[in-house]
Amino acid sequence: MNYLSLTSVEALRGLVDLYNFAARQDEQARRAQARLLEGIVDVQSRGKDHLFHGVPIRGTEVTLSLKQDHFAGEGDMFLFASVLSEFFALYASVNSFTQLVVNEIEQGEQYSWPSRIGQQIIL
């Protein structure tokens, strides 16, 4: 994954869909996944600087706009976004970080996850 995957909703939906192995064999799982992915309205990413133990590092803030009515409830939306936060951190380089911010567009709620240090080693 690179951050070009975070420049459009369709690219992010395709990336998430690629990793849902259950949906390839289970029609019900595929339909549930499609409903969740339709709940992603917008994705934006921007560079962000952050101090980590006194050392400035450059990272990426990812902002998702989600429609809660595409999820079973607020908890389901939170779980979906938490998995995405973990996923983004797995693919960020070691010397950077990601931070996820979710805007729920129907009620105007905003959720923010802590900055996550990247885990991808650069060769």
For residue 72, what pLDDT is reported?
A: 92
**CA-based torsion, 59, 63, 64, 68: positive or negative:** positive
The tens digit of pLDDT for each residue in 7-61 reads 789 988 888 888 877 777 888 888 888 899 999 999 999 999 988 888 888 999 9
The ranges assigned to domains in the chain are: 3-117
Q: What's the pLDDT score for residue 7?
A: 74
pTM of the model: 0.84
Q: Are 96 and 64 in contact (CB under 8 A)?
A: no
pLDDT tens for residues 71-97?
Answer: 999 999 999 999 999 988 888 888 889
